[in-house]
A and B are shown apart, each in its own frame.
Chain A
């Protein structure tokens, strides 16, 4: 992107008169732009994945599922103004669906179908909740979804089939031979199961982000923003408020479902304690840290969530702290970061960077 911006700056007249100019074309051709960014993204992911070790791969897998869920949440909260405190519960739905479908040797369905099924099931649950949530406003939606986040782990305990407190183990199906061969053909190194899951996660993330980015840029995104900014004006403009809200909710929960599916595969277990209220709040904090309403922000937020605690604990141990103290350091630093961002950069990391950039351009 920087190159095109430079091009636009070199030729301000072309951008200003609104005709031609690569920058202009880049901005207006939404789908090709998103697709090419996606391809670039996938290439970058491949390079990173192949140059880092197994543990980094597993961290990248965590980042992928957090990123998918945060992406969905940022659309809901940032674009449509609905605050959900229950996305962890929707991830649980996706994760348990995946665990159940992957049960059995060999699993009944191929992996992509399982992912789709997990997304679909969560989408249906999301639709039901969304219809209820569409009737509520602001803090009341937060309250209702909060109840969901508290209830779902409890509901899980009720059913013997779901494994109770100990949860369900998730067995990854064997990596198909053609995938192994293809991976070896392209990268020259063997694909281990950890890396396989990480690739699946990032492929899911890229697909999700392309779809979300298109939605955000198009008519649907405009209606969502309109509903968020002024309900009365939106209604006068012919937007059906309820429909727009439910749609946003459903899209967002579908993302959470997919994220849950990837999480189940990456974590290898789905247990109620993995889907506590903390998870929902963590997702929200990722979105706020990164910048509300921005997919880049969601990605940055999930990267912070994944890498920061590990980094801090490592630093703590290196500094000679005991294991317990070092472990306690991670949540403390995360909390401090959160406070700092809210105080210094209330628009989140991407929001603040964007504002800075705009101001500089405005001065220039």
Chain B
């Protein structure tokens, strides 16, 4: 017995060794020494197609409104494709749902980059969500264009994130422009800040405080997901605030309006652009109040906000006519909304960037082209882009408007500025840009 066991053990050992040796022999050994050329073409682009992707909340709490943005993109790309594409290439836009959860964003971005092999990420939405993937995209050298968020992170440090570009005005310049307007027009108002507790609220606050630090009497913050904002509003009410400045998302505009009605708090409201879409807020108000507040865009009458692209209210704008034409011809179900216009406006900029990159765009070429000619691009934006080698931040300004019956009545000319201590100046030049007759930009190659 003893002997058999020892024998068995030896056999086993021999077996293991053989297996190990076999495994090692299977291996490839060292690397081949020759340095291979890296002339492989970029992923996602062929002779007649270019594939790009984006992550959006199509389901979940952030879906209302935001889920419409990609449909705007698709409608415009379909329009361009129907007219021959960009340099003969048809644009294919792959949209993935991340439900506004950074964990999902990471997964779907893996899918877009590694499986779908997109040429670039276009308009990925959300500050916390896109934060999860921005380093990955830069490490993989995937162009990360026109992030749908106004965080400074997408453009204030191109050395750190050379592949990422913002698009909309960042929250800091919005805060500055709002702050200066309040300083000039409501110098005696006691201002209360109602902030989302992330970069959005922080950057906006930093901008506003450059002008109205002494007017701000109370600052409250909310965490997205916690739907009870009564403590915050009670605090503002207790501080006798007569102008509430909100850097918040649409659902919190609706919640704060409802709560204020409940506690009989009637200040003047100034919501940043993000949270002020009258149609969406009206619909949300009706839903949150279970029908007690009748949903209509007029609910936000008298509310102050900002605009940086012509929306559905700009009925005499050539851009709106173009968007309406595109949506009628290529849109999905549903009406043309401000979110779809936002998507189409971004899509317009992407087409411009692609044209600027020349006949055979490379990933690097698109980035270089945007840095070179980005600030001269004419588009629906009321103010020019700030794209350069030193800044990847997007649209440089906006106008202050008052909402009346769902329409924005301009109170100022277009105000243009930059982050930091850059002065605020009037600049209507870009606001006069009109779309070309065929609705498709025609940008010369940058090099």
Residues of chain A whose beta carbon lies under 8 Å from any beta carbon of chain B: 53-59, 62, 154, 157, 164-167, 169, 171, 184-189, 193-194, 263, 266-269, 271, 273-274, 276, 310, 313, 322-324, 327-328, 331
Contact = CB atoms under 8 A, between A and B. Distances in A.
Contacts of A276: 101
Nearest to B31: A184
B322 interface: no
A327 B102 contact: no
A53 B102 contact: no
Contacts of B103: 263, 267, 269, 271, 273-274
Given A53-B115, A327-B58, A268 B197 contact: no
B29 A185 contact: yes
Nearest to B67: A324
Interface stretch (B105-113, B283-291, B372-380, B411-419): B105-113
A168 to B, nearest CB: 10
A187 B106 contact: no
B59 interface: yes
B59 A331 contact: yes
Interface stretch (B82-90, B129-137, B208-216): B129-137
Contacts of B428: none
Nearest to B19: A39
Contact of A169 (B29, B100, B107, B135): B135
8 closest Cβ pairs, A-B complex: A188-B28, A55-B115, A327-B97, A54-B114, A269-B132, A55-B114, A274-B103, A327-B58
Contacts of B71: 322-323
Given A166-B198, A323-B58, A271 B67 contact: no
Contacts of A157: 197, 223
A186 B101 CA distance: 37
A165 B223 CA distance: 7
Contacts of B67: 324
Q: Which among A56, A186, A327 has the greatest number of chain B C-beta atoms within 10 A?
A: A327
B41 interface: no
B95 interface: yes
Contact of A273 (B23, B29, B101, B333): B101
A185 B198 contact: no
B27 A323 contact: no
A185 B30 contact: yes
A138 B251 CA distance: 38
B127 interface: yes
A68 to B, nearest CB: 16
B37 interface: no
A32 to B, nearest CB: 9
Interface of B: 23-24, 26-31, 58-59, 63, 67, 70-71, 95-97, 99-103, 106-107, 110-111, 114-115, 127-128, 131-133, 135-136, 139, 196-199, 223-225, 332-333
Given A268-B133, A271-B102, A322-B332, A194 B58 contact: no
A241 B223 CA distance: 41
Given A166-B199, A188-B28, A194 B102 contact: no
A62 B170 CA distance: 34
B58 A274 contact: no
Given A166-B131, A166-B199, A268 B58 contact: no
27 contacts: A53-B115, A54-B110, A55-B110, A55-B111, A59-B107, A167-B102, A167-B128, A184-B30, A185-B24, A185-B29, A186-B24, A187-B27, A187-B28, A188-B27, A188-B28, A266-B106, A269-B132, A271-B102, A271-B132, A273-B101, A273-B225, A274-B102, A323-B71, A324-B58, A324-B97, A327-B59, A328-B58
Contact of A268 (B128, B135, B332): B135
B4 to A, nearest CB: 12
A184 B197 contact: no
B22 to A, nearest CB: 12
B59 A328 contact: yes
B447 to A, nearest CB: 32
Contacts of A331: 59
A58 B332 contact: no
Given A185-B28, A194-B110, A274-B101, A167 B131 contact: yes
Contacts of A271: 102-103, 128, 131-132
A226 B135 CA distance: 50
Contact of A269 (B23, B27, B70, B106): B106
Nearest to B198: A165
Contacts of B26: 186
B45 to A, nearest CB: 18
B134 to A, nearest CB: 9
Contacts of B107: 58-59, 62, 267
A274 B128 CA distance: 11
Contacts of B139: 193
Contacts of A266: 106
Contacts of B30: 184-185
A324 B68 CA distance: 9
Given A55-B111, A187-B27, A268-B136, A273 B128 contact: yes
Nearest to A266: B106
Given A186-B23, A194-B114, A268-B133, 12 more contacts: A53-B115, A54-B114, A55-B115, A154-B223, A157-B197, A157-B223, A169-B131, A169-B132, A187-B27, A267-B102, A268-B132, A268-B135
A200 B95 CA distance: 30
Given A58-B107, A274-B101, A164 B198 contact: yes
Nearest to A171: B135
Given A166-B198, A188-B28, A327-B58, A53 B131 contact: no
Contacts of B223: 154, 157, 165
Contacts of B196: 165
Q: Which among A169, A267, A271, A323 has the greatest number of chain B C-beta atoms within 10 A?
A: A323
A36 to B, nearest CB: 10
A187 B136 CA distance: 25
Q: Which among A185, A186, A273 has the greatest number of chain B C-beta atoms within 10 A?
A: A273
Given A53-B115, A165-B128, A327-B97, A185 B27 contact: yes
A184 B128 contact: no
Contacts of B63: 324
Contacts of B132: 167, 169, 267-269, 271
Contact of A58 (B100, B110, B128): B110
Contacts of B225: 273
A276 B224 CA distance: 13
A189 B59 CA distance: 38
Contacts of A58: 107, 110-111, 114
Nearest to B93: A323
Contacts of B99: 327
A268 B102 CA distance: 9
A194 B139 CA distance: 12
Contacts of B97: 313, 323-324, 327
A165 B196 CA distance: 10
Q: Which among B24, B71, B96, B199 has the greatest number of chain A C-beta atoms within 10 A?
A: B96
B128 A53 contact: no
Contacts of A313: 97
A21 to B, nearest CB: 15
A171 B106 CA distance: 13
